[in-house]
Structure 1
Amino acid sequence: MTTMIGTTAVAAPPRVVAQTPVGTPPAWAIMQRRLFDVMDEGWWLFRERYCLPDGSLRYAGEVPSRDGADDFYEAFVNWPVLYQLGGADDLLDVSKWHWEGVTRQLTDLGFLVDEFERGYDWFHLGESMIFFYSLCAADPGDEVFRDRAYRFAELYLPGSPAANYDPATRTIRAPHNGAGGPRRGINDEWRSFGAGLASMRPFGLPLAGVPGIRTWTDLEDPAKADLMGAEMVRRLGAGDVAVNLAATTLTANAWLYDHNDRFAAWTLEYLDAWQQRAKENGGVLPDNVGPSGVVGELHDGRWHGGNYGWAWPHGVYSVGSAACVAAVNGALLTGDPSRLDLARQLLDHLYERGITGTVDGTEMSIRDRWQAELGDDTATPTLLIPNRYGEEGWFDYQPPQLGLPVWLWQAAFEAPDRERLNRLRERSGYDWRTVRDFRNKEDAGHEAPWLAYLAGDNPGYPEAMLGVALSQVQRRMDLMEADRTDPADMHVHHWQRHNPVATEALLQLTTGTPQLLYNGGLLPLRILYLDPDRGRPGLPADVAALVDTVEPDRTGLQLVNLSATQTRRVVVQAGGFGTERIDRATVTTATGEYPGPAPAYTAPSLRAGTETIVVDGNRLEVTLPPGRTIRLDLELTRNAYRAAHLAPAAD
């Protein structure tokens, strides 16, 4: 077990000065700064086109009974992340303005109580809350958001008036929950679940064992549609479900402010409860627990069949994501890598049951995702893993979502987690080095070529990935320009599909971190940059960064100042939540008579060297004179300090 030893160090960091002239600027550096610029143009255009003066969204369409609040927040979900990486100075205030405006809007529509979801499932709640978590991380000094973080987390603690949690059974009392407490039942739109619900048909029947209903066409009978709806209310609308594990991020986020033991205790208690249920189920996380705390109580003893569970509609896409989110939270709070075992065992169970097949030739519920991610390789035999489990066993085989095992590796950097990724690559029929031009809902999906880059066999990845990001942002800009949709006709996913902020490339390349787990994950960055001159997080203007080495005890990166006239300073912090200690830093040096005499046609050659300095803290300040670059090789001790929301220091 790894033990964290005290609070995060924030003393004045050692300082180094970049000495090496940039010479010919690296293409990746120019492209990276262009990406920052175009996204800052993009969110401004998005705001002008889709938002009202109070920060809310222009919308006049139908309002569902329970579903939809997440989609309003998802319009801005990664804006605070862009700010934290180095986006425009005013982006933080704009992001808060939109959060406030959308929160008022959703309150008026009846979705929220005291600024929090009245009661819905954590598959969707997790999607909406990552906007809030990112705001907290981007500005830890904001007392208003800190107080909100406490208030929201309190909703799930024992003794809360909301009564979401039952400490006797260690369960959240309903699949739909929130500020209004346990909200039993389902969406009103599903109370009669008929064959006309075409969008749900690819996922099959929501429940097994309903008398007289064995196929989708049986739902054409109104009486059977009513019966299915009634059974959904009874069996999917009560008890605890595995996707509620994503609620642990709510308490973990509050804990990051001041390490309140009450928030940590509930997070770990709830995680332990599900860990025990998985152990009793042969290592596979069950998806449902009845009101008395018994697995399968509402499903005739079945460990599968709960709301957003293994059988319907998404399987590993919802259950696996929640397990990884909670497991990473457990590791973040304790520094103990064994907290990841809940998700590790689950994924290994699925991978062991993988088969070889093609996307084109295999029946699956979500095909368009893989058509974008794999392109022509949808016809190539590759590893397919079961996504769902029903009466006949495992089914719905699809390629593995790499974001899940990547985050297990990121959370602990233990050798077995890296070996798991290596085995997945070996079993894949497609070339992991290929970079395809797409952007999915999670702003993710390029983990394979990034991992190949970090392994040293995909050297062109930075330029290729930045090119994809620029292409996708431009497409969103063009979509906005061409958009003439009336707000009364808008789908609630309309804004997500036009959002021009794409952070996957910047997260990977500047911080050495994958895109966050979309259904409720925190974002513990491998590297966080701070601008001491502006007293804020993010790379300073003109500065580009490239992380090319990510190892358990080592991070390697290059910094480039593209300005020809301005000196920039940047503080490099090990760990976005400050958990790592930089023991030593080996930095590049250059000596010689640069720029040389004016009559010479070329600059003189410089003698390249290195210098190793002792840091013994989690921050190192780098001064970058105009047109200079430096490489840093950081030797790290992991989990030297407790994770925390840390405000940047200004001087």
Structure 2
Amino acid sequence: MKTIEFADKGPSEIPDWAIRQRYLIDTMNQAAPIYQQRYTNDDGTFVWRENWPGMDGSDDGYESYHNWPLFYALGGSEHVHEQSRFLWNSVTKQFTDYGQIYREFDGYYDWMHHGESSLYIYYFGLANPSVNRDRARAIRFAGFYMNENLALSHPELSHSVENKKNLNHPTLSNWDPAKKMIRSPINGSKGPRFINTKEDWCTHRWILSKYITPYQDLDIPTTLLPMPDGEMVYKADWNNDKVFETILEALNQRTMMCDVPLNLTATSLITNAYLYTNESKYKSWVLDYVEAWSDKIKINGGICPDNIGPNGIIGETMNGKWWGGYYGWRWPHGLNTIIEPLTIAAMNAVLLTGDYNYLDIPRGQLLKLMDLGRTENGQLLVPHRYTDEGWTSFKPLAPKHIAHIWYMSMNQKDYELMNQFPDSKSTWHQVQPGRGKGDDIHFGPWFCYIDKRNPNYPNLILQEQLSEVFRRMEKIRNDTGDPEEWDVHHWQNVNPIHTEGLLQLTCGGPQVIYHGGLLHVRLRFFDLTQNRPGLPCDVAALVSDLESSSTTLELVNTSSVVEKTLIMQAGAFGEHKFTDIQDLDLSNNTYSVNSKEVKIILKPGRTVRLKLGYKRYCNNPSYDQPLNC
């Protein structure tokens, strides 16, 4: 590994953003233990109710700490890392006892919720890939979708899988290898859930009453009511037992034996196993599945169908309709649960192959919708739902999926698409308060910063993320409610760890796509002295420019007395390569690297500004780290 010690230019004035960055990290290190102590028993389980039925909820338990190992990988404390593992085990135990978890994975649920849960285990690979138990889990969990290690023997099934021949039986396995499809939208460690019961849905019927009805032709009373964004839709009362029975029967008959776009999020789980093992079977599975869906999109005239029947036929159980599937074009969210899994899967395919053409899959959907859009008051409105009446729910397109495509492609046309959003010239210059559920609401201001149109963004985002820590800690101190009455989302709503700003500024990449995406960044750091991932204590980093073949980075050693030695890795998984490094303060000093990693020595109180030459997506991605953590 090449070592670079830059020419000493004398003491530097420590920039304000560097002080703020280090203070944010220190503050979150202090906040995490207080949050944990407030809401957990000595064994790490939540102070909560004794019973929790249904299939929903374990994802919310995991979401309460899911970003702790990522924070550690960015530079958070060893204590946060240790507790993140302790708490994962505690959540797993608690929800196993409740009944949702089987073999350390949800027995059955959909991939929006599996995706939320799985972020936690993906971040373990970034924190420390040498933990054998994590590797074993990654292989076992992937096996649930490759007809390996299913061991489907539990009280709800009247059978036991004893040999490999049985694993492809259509009532047992999640994966149909011949048709390259996942057999049900409800799936997991217990296999596909073709028949959902009343109990499966019992804890979230009240939430589903807030959304559009799944179907238009059911004999149930409906009322035209607004969605939170003002869209008027017909809603039904899922809390009415007769209404609920009618809806559930229709769901079982029409959608529970179908593959749906949401299942593409499973590609992250399989890629996770590949990042541990480098076994080609995982890569092949991901590419086979992505390409199978790409073929279905082509067959359907360029629009992604939202249901594929058990024989691999579009609309097979929906009277020929390509719309109306589970978490599809109509119900409950429309476009978002189509484009999000397409984007996640395409980005995973690019990571594994370096082939940017996979981005045409989500990009093509977005371009189709923009073509179907209409302009009102100078703003493009695109359809977000397809119903029996055709395209409907016209509203502004959220930029985040085009943004992820642009970030990965660095394509000029994708850049131009980003600049078509009117907000890119107005509200994107502002940092909104809060962080959103996914800690991902500041992509627009960050994009404008990278585009040289929002120069104060680093200070603003660091201040806002710090303010959010203080707001949440205040809520924790004043949280005097009865735990028995708390909603299952209670804890995640006050989790004081935030990573969006740190990812953008230190790693030069966006927050992950929340419902199950992997981390895609330009670089990450390792502390050679402490033999761990993340920025060394007192070191701050700022990525200020991104080009297809370069990244501009500022590194600051805020310590006045201690020299710092760190390793930079190109990409979250070493998927990129540094070609050279130019010292921008001494323009004649360019160092040849030609490696995915490089060692940097920073003298006390010094700042260096670097231009990192890149060749992107040229290396095999892996969780392996450049030191023995």
Q: Same fold (TM over 0.5)?
A: yes
Aligned residues of 1:127 and 1:519 also touching (Cα < 8 A): yes
Instruction: Report whether the alignment pairs 1:550 with 2:560.
Output: no
Question: 1:141 is paired with a residue of what secondary structure?
Answer: coil
Instruction: Report whether the alignment pairs 1:267 with 2:286.
Output: yes
User: Which residue of 333, 345, 353 maps to 1:314?
Assistant: 333
For residues 38-87 of structure 1, give each alpha carbon's deviation from its aligned partner in whole angstroms, at most 9, with x where no partner exists. 11111111111112222222221762411111000000111111111100
Instruction: Report whether the alignment pairs 1:163 with 2:163.
Output: no
CA drift at 1:262 = 1.1
* Inter-CA distance 26–252: structure 2 relative to 1 (3 Å threshold): same
User: Which residue of 344, 347, 360 maps to 2:366?
Assistant: 347
User: Which residue of 60, 72, 77 maps to 1:71?
Assistant: 60
User: Which residue of 630, 633, 636 maps to 2:608?
Assistant: 630
**In 2: Cα distance, 1:27 partner to 1:427 partner:** 28
**In 2: Cα distance, 1:224 partner to 1:75 partner:** 33
Instruction: Report whether the alignment pairs 1:403 with 2:413.
Output: no
CA drift at 1:114 = 1.1
**In 2: Cα distance, 1:62 partner to 1:186 partner:** 20
The one-letter amino acid paired with 1:173 is R
Q: Name the structure 1 match of 2:536.
A: 540
* Inter-CA distance 338–626: structure 2 relative to 1 (3 Å threshold): same
**In 2: Cα distance, 1:29 partner to 1:382 partner:** 38
Superposition pairs of residues 300-449 of structure 1, within 5 angstroms: 300-356=319-375, 382-423=379-420, 425-426=421-422, 430-449=426-445
Instruction: Report whether the alignment pairs 1:285 with 2:304.
Output: yes
Aligned residues of 1:18 and 1:629 also touching (Cα < 8 A): no
The one-letter amino acid paired with 2:141 is F
**In 2: Cα distance, 1:324 partner to 1:179 partner:** 25
Q: Name the structure 2 match of 1:613.
A: 591
Q: Name the structure 1 match of 2:557.
A: 561
Q: Name the structure 1 match of 2:82.
A: 93
CA drift at 1:335 = 0.9
Instruction: Report whether the alignment pairs 1:208 with 2:216.
Output: yes
* Inter-CA distance 351–525: structure 2 relative to 1 (3 Å threshold): same
CA drift at 1:209 = 2.3
Aligned residues of 1:275 and 1:342 also touching (Cα < 8 A): yes
**In 2: Cα distance, 1:91 partner to 1:218 partner:** 44
The one-letter amino acid paired with 1:489 is E
CA drift at 1:187 = 5.7
**In 1: Cα distance, 2:200 partner to 2:622 partner:** 42
**In 2: Cα distance, 1:340 partner to 1:517 partner:** 15
Q: Name the structure 1 match of 2:627.
A: 649
Q: Name the structure 2 match of 1:366.
A: none
Superposition pairs of residues 467-506 of structure 1, within 5 angstroms: 467-506=463-502
CA drift at 1:226 = 3.0
Instruction: Report whether the alignment pairs 1:276 with 2:276.
Output: no
> Which segment drifts farther, 301-310 or 181-190?
181-190
* Inter-CA distance 83–357: structure 2 relative to 1 (3 Å threshold): farther
Instruction: Report whether the alignment pairs 1:106 with 2:95.
Output: yes
Question: 2:284 is paired with a residue of what secondary structure?
Answer: helix
For residues 438-477 of structure 1, give each alpha carbon's deviation from its aligned partner in whole angstroms, at most 9, with x where no partner exists. 2100101111111111111111111111111111111111
Question: 1:322 is paired with a residue of what secondary structure?
Answer: helix
Q: Name the structure 1 match of 2:160.
A: none
CA drift at 1:639 = 2.1
The runs of at least 4 consecutive aligned structure 1 residues that moved more than 6 Å come to 190-193
* Inter-CA distance 429–354: structure 2 relative to 1 (3 Å threshold): farther
* Inter-CA distance 192–50: structure 2 relative to 1 (3 Å threshold): closer
> Taking every aligned residue pair, what percent have the same amino acid on both sides?
37
Instruction: Report whether the alignment pairs 1:176 with 2:165.
Output: no
**In 2: Cα distance, 1:191 partner to 1:526 partner:** 41
Aligned residues of 1:22 and 1:560 also touching (Cα < 8 A): no
Question: 1:645 is paired with a residue of what secondary structure?
Answer: coil
Question: 1:289 is paired with a residue of what secondary structure?
Answer: coil
**In 2: Cα distance, 1:427 partner to 1:495 partner:** 32
Aligned residue-pair number: 597
* Inter-CA distance 613–467: structure 2 relative to 1 (3 Å threshold): same
Aligned residues of 1:574 and 1:580 also touching (Cα < 8 A): yes
**In 2: Cα distance, 1:191 partner to 1:529 partner:** 43
> Which segment drifts farther, 504-513 or 335-344?
335-344
**In 1: Cα distance, 2:388 partner to 2:48 partner:** 42
Q: Name the structure 1 match of 2:317.
A: 298
* Inter-CA distance 18–494: structure 2 relative to 1 (3 Å threshold): farther
For residues 363-398 of structure 1, give each alpha carbon's deviation from its aligned partner in whole angstroms, at most 9, with x where no partner exists. xxxxxxxxxxxxxxxxxx744432222112222334
Q: Name the structure 2 match of 1:227.
A: 246
| TM superposition score normalised by structure 2 | 0.90
**In 1: Cα distance, 2:382 partner to 2:476 partner:** 37
Question: 2:575 is paired with a residue of what secondary structure?
Answer: coil
* Inter-CA distance 222–491: structure 2 relative to 1 (3 Å threshold): closer
For residues 222-264 of structure 1, give each alpha carbon's deviation from its aligned partner in whole angstroms, at most 9, with x where no partner exists. 6455323311222232221110100111111101122211111
* Inter-CA distance 421–517: structure 2 relative to 1 (3 Å threshold): same
The one-letter amino acid paired with 1:230 is E
Aligned residues of 1:402 and 1:445 also touching (Cα < 8 A): no
Aligned residues of 1:18 and 1:628 also touching (Cα < 8 A): no
Question: 2:119 is paired with a residue of what secondary structure?
Answer: helix
* Inter-CA distance 179–334: structure 2 relative to 1 (3 Å threshold): same
* Inter-CA distance 94–198: structure 2 relative to 1 (3 Å threshold): closer
**In 1: Cα distance, 2:236 partner to 2:458 partner:** 52
Question: 1:411 is paired with a residue of what secondary structure?
Answer: helix
**In 2: Cα distance, 1:224 partner to 1:540 partner:** 57
CA drift at 1:279 = 0.8
Question: 1:20 is paired with a residue of what secondary structure?
Answer: coil
Instruction: Report whether the alignment pairs 1:515 with 2:511.
Output: yes
Question: 2:428 is paired with a residue of what secondary structure?
Answer: coil
> Which segment drifts farther, 499-508 or 288-297?
288-297
**In 2: Cα distance, 1:499 partner to 1:462 partner:** 22
Aligned residues of 2:49 and 2:484 also touching (Cα < 8 A): yes
Instruction: Report whether the alignment pairs 1:56 with 2:50.
Output: no
For residues 260-314 of structure 1, give each alpha carbon's deviation from its aligned partner in whole angstroms, at most 9, with x where no partner exists. 1111111111111111111111211111111111111121111111111110001
**In 2: Cα distance, 1:294 partner to 1:192 partner:** 31
* Inter-CA distance 648–55: structure 2 relative to 1 (3 Å threshold): farther
* Inter-CA distance 587–395: structure 2 relative to 1 (3 Å threshold): same
The one-letter amino acid paired with 1:448 is G
Q: Any gaps of 5 or more consecutive residues in structure 1?
A: 1-11, 359-380, 590-607
Aligned residues of 2:111 and 2:265 also touching (Cα < 8 A): yes
The one-letter amino acid paired with 1:177 is N
Q: Name the structure 2 match of 1:597.
A: none
Aligned residues of 2:194 and 2:257 also touching (Cα < 8 A): yes
Q: Name the structure 1 match of 2:226.
A: none
The one-letter amino acid paired with 2:533 is P
Aligned residues of 1:331 and 1:412 also touching (Cα < 8 A): no
* Inter-CA distance 487–198: structure 2 relative to 1 (3 Å threshold): closer
- Output the aligned Cα RMSD: 2.3
CA drift at 1:316 = 2.0
* Inter-CA distance 18–438: structure 2 relative to 1 (3 Å threshold): farther
Higher relative contact order (CA 8 A, sep 6+): 1
CA drift at 1:212 = 6.0
